[in-house]
Every structure is written in structure tokens, then in C-alpha cells.
Amino acid sequence: MLAVGLPASAAVSATPTISLSAAYLSGAVGGVADPAVTVKIAQSGTDASALTVTATASSRTSVAQTGDVTVSGTGATRTVSVAARGQGYTDLTLKVTGSGGASATTKLHYAASKAVQNAAAARYLTGTSDASAAVDVGGGYVVVADDESNVLRLYDGAVSGAPVKTWDLSAKIGADKEIDIEGATRVGNLIYWTGSLGNNKDGEYKADRDTVFTTTVSGSGTGTQLTYAHAYKKLRDELVDWDEENDDHYGFAAGTADGEAPKQIDGFNVEGLEFAPGSTTTAYVGFRAPLVPPKGGGKGLIVPVTNMDKVVASGASPVFGTPIELDLGGLAVRDIRKNAANQYLIVAGSWAADDNSDPYALYRWDGVAGHTPVKALDLPTTDPGGWEAVVSVPDLSVPGQRVQLITDSGSADLYGDGTEAKDLDHDEWKKSRAAWFTLP
């Protein structure tokens, strides 16, 4: 029996389909090279190039309106990007329309963080908000660790978005909990990574945090591959024993005692790792806590491990060199990185736990004990996130060079709803900020 009102030859067009590569997307007000999502569309019996994709509704127009949505590309694959108007969340309705006027819709759940200083120099690394260490692997790509998991992520540092590759090393290392990775450095094709070595925030000893491990690098840029190499899990204990043998000069035993939080002025917390000038064996272990002496105006602490290569590769007992105390204006070591010319940059910041708005500064140094670091610039603290990592050090003898730094934004309220970034429900909304700074 024919449908009433339709000619016998008429056919009802098939319903199109529309799907997203990710249902959740993060952007920033004033963002440059913000993340986008891929849209797949189809309609049976119709060439995909004849289909149109539009944004038809926004649940919160103060965050983004339909006119702020850009659809690009042709054929079965399109790209959708959003220019944020304001901080917050909105659900954007995306509609595909095909032949015969048939259509289908889907929702894109969008979150926008507020504008930051020098937004043009900012990029957002999504998938985690707690970036804590970074290593340049060439071609603008960087491997980033975070202190909430044992996953290493490869990002294109030139654009905002999700990691290109990930490596979860928990099983290889034998870690049930997070290592609390806080520092990293590269020597040839080997990357050294260190946990904080301290207690957790509640003052409890967690064995997995007492880990230094290495990964072998092959390839570069987007072709980078990482392979687990070795791990050493007693450096904290050895440091405590060494300090006790030297009259408890730095208070390591007290700083690691049960109930002692690591991020105190007299606590115990490692955040920097780099090798001494011209060396592939002597590693500088940089401390966020303690300051020395543990009071306002105290100095930042570095303890050299003169045989770090053998410690990690074969489990040799660490040999400690003469400690280095650095005048960082009352701040502590948050990261330390050098280039092939043995020019160092140190991110100096507070020892405190809640420090996103505390002072930060970038210092130059030559890596020589007894030589005083020189402040290069004060780092902005009005935007979310604490400065945690230097990607690489340019030639500091050339004026106007740029350096890229990365924040740990885990405790930041990115979207204005009171939720810390680390507690957000969707990884696509979690993000750390990478920013370029021109050195004076």
C-alpha cells in the first residue's frame, strides 16, 4: 500500500549519521591553535561532499554561540573548532543535513578557560592537568610526565591538544601507585626520570615515590618511541643515611618522618634533575624542600650524585658529592635544565603546597658550585597553574631567545565552577599550559 500523499516513485531519504572523535573539548578565551574535534558524517546513497554540518544551538551563549563554531573540510571527515567568548561550559548541538532535508544531531560538550596573559604564546596540553617534567625530543615535540600517574605523553608543543602517543610504565617499573614524577633530563638516547622521593601530602610513606628510572629514546618528533630501561628505588633512603652521617645537616630524616608533609620549608621533596657541566655521570638532584637554612631567605639545595648512571643501570650505591646551595631569592628549585653549552635555566618557586599564586622566577646559571645564579625574569602568577618544567634551553649567549615553560595546573579552577582540574570528570577538559617567554 502506498504512503498517502506521496507519488509512487518517491523515496524517503535515509537518515544521515554524525559522530565525533571526542564528545568533550576544551578551549580558552583568546586561545591560539586551540584543540578541535573530527566529525565523521555519512548518508546512504548520498555523496558525503553534499552533506552540510552546522552548529544549531548552544546551551550557554556566554561561553560560545553558534557563530563561534567553525566547520572546515569536505567529504566524510570535517573538523570543528570553537572560539570561546567566556569561561565556563556549554553544550553545542551539531547538525548534519543531507539529501531530502534529512538530518541528525549530536552534542559537543565544550569547556572554556579564561584568557591568560600573552595568550598568543600559550598552548594547552590536554589529557592531564598535572604536568611536572618535560623533555625535548626534537621537531617541536616534547615528552611530558605528570605527578598523578606513571604515563608519559608525547605532545606537539606548537599546538594545543591531546597527546600524540602515550606510554604507561606502571607495569614495567612495578609501581602500583603514582611515582610522583617531578624531574627529568636527557643524556644521549637515555631519559632519566625521578619521583619526588618524599612522603605524600598526608605525610605517609609511599614506596613508589622513591623511584628513579630511565627510558630509551628512538626516533624523534612525531616518530619518537620510548622503551623502559632501568629503575632504582632506594635513593631517598641513601640520601637520608648520607645526611645523618653528616650530622643531619639538612634534616632529611626529620623531613621524611611519618606524618611529615613533603612541601614544608623543612620538608623533603625533589623536583629537579639535570647533569653537571660536561658530565654524563654526575647528576644534580634539585630540592623543592628543604630550604637551607629552613627559613625565609633560605637557599635552594642541589645534591650531586656522582655515579647516577651506574646507580640506575646496575643498582650501584650512590656516591654523593659536595652539596650546592643556591641563592634563588628565597625560592627553591622547581626544575633545572641545561643545553649542550652547559648553560642552565632554573625555575625557582615556593616550597609551599598551595603555591599557584606564590612568586616564581627564572634564573640563569653556569652549573658551577660557588657561582651565583642570575635572575633572568619574574614569571607571571595571576594565571592558573604553577610553573613546573623547562622544555629546553636555547643559546643564552644570543639576545632575544625564547624558552617554553609548562605549568602544573592540577589544583587550578580552570572553568570557574570550583572544581580542581585534576578532579574533572573528563580527561579532554584537563590541561596544562605551555607558554613561551622571551629572555632579556
Say what the pTM is: 0.94
CA dihedral of 267, 272, 277, 279, whole degrees rounded to 10 = 100
Looking at residue 357, its pLDDT comes to: 76
Looking at residue 11, its pLDDT comes to: 61
Contact 16, 102 (CB under 8 A): yes
Burial of 400 (0-12, 13-18, 19+ CB in 10 A): exposed
Backbone angles phi, psi at 122, to 5 degrees: -100, 140
* pLDDT greater than 90 at residue 391: yes
Which residue is associated with the grid cell 579564561?
Answer: 114
The one-letter amino acid at 65: Q
Would you tell me how many other CB atoms lie within 10 Å of the CB of residue 299? Answer: 18
Span 206-214, average pLDDT: 98
pLDDT band at 282 (very low <50, low <70, confident <90, very high): very high
Contact 306, 290 (CB under 8 A): no
**C-alpha of 295 from chain center:** 30
Q: In order of start, what are the domains of the chain with their CATH numbers? A: 17-113 (2.60.40.10), 119-438 (2.115.10)
Contact 208, 175 (CB under 8 A): yes
* pLDDT greater than 90 at residue 75: yes
* pLDDT greater than 50 at residue 3: no
Backbone angles phi, psi at 237, to 5 degrees: -60, -40
Contact 228, 173 (CB under 8 A): yes
Burial of 398 (0-12, 13-18, 19+ CB in 10 A): exposed
Q: What count of residues does the chain have?
A: 440
The radius of gyration computed from the CA coordinates of the chain, to the nearest angstrom, equals: 25
> 228-260, pLDDT tens digit by residue?
999 999 999 999 999 999 999 999 999 999 999
The candidate with the shortest Cα–Cα distance to 26, out of 149, 127, 146, 140, is 127
pLDDT band at 2 (very low <50, low <70, confident <90, very high): very low
Secondary structure of residue 240 in the 3-state scheme: helix
Secondary structure of residue 212 in the 3-state scheme: strand
Backbone angles phi, psi at 123, to 5 degrees: -130, 155
Mean pLDDT score of the chain: 96
Containing H/E element for 194?
strand 190-195
What residue spans of 277-425 are helical by DSSP H?
Answer: 308-314
The candidate with the shortest Cα–Cα distance to 123, out of 222, 28, 209, is 28
* pLDDT greater than 50 at residue 8: no
- Characterize the bridge pairing of strands 37-42 and 17-20: antiparallel
Looking at residue 9, its pLDDT comes to: 40
Looking at residue 394, its pLDDT comes to: 97
Looking at residue 388, its pLDDT comes to: 95
Span 128-156, average pLDDT: 97
The candidate with the shortest Cα–Cα distance to 389, out of 193, 215, 199, is 193
What is the number of H-type helices and E-type strands within the chain?
4, 28
> 93-125, pLDDT tens digit by residue?
999 999 999 999 999 999 999 999 999 999 999
Looking at residue 1, its pLDDT comes to: 39
Gap between the terminal Cα atoms of the chain = 82
* pLDDT greater than 50 at residue 6: no
Looking at residue 10, its pLDDT comes to: 47
* pLDDT greater than 50 at residue 422: yes
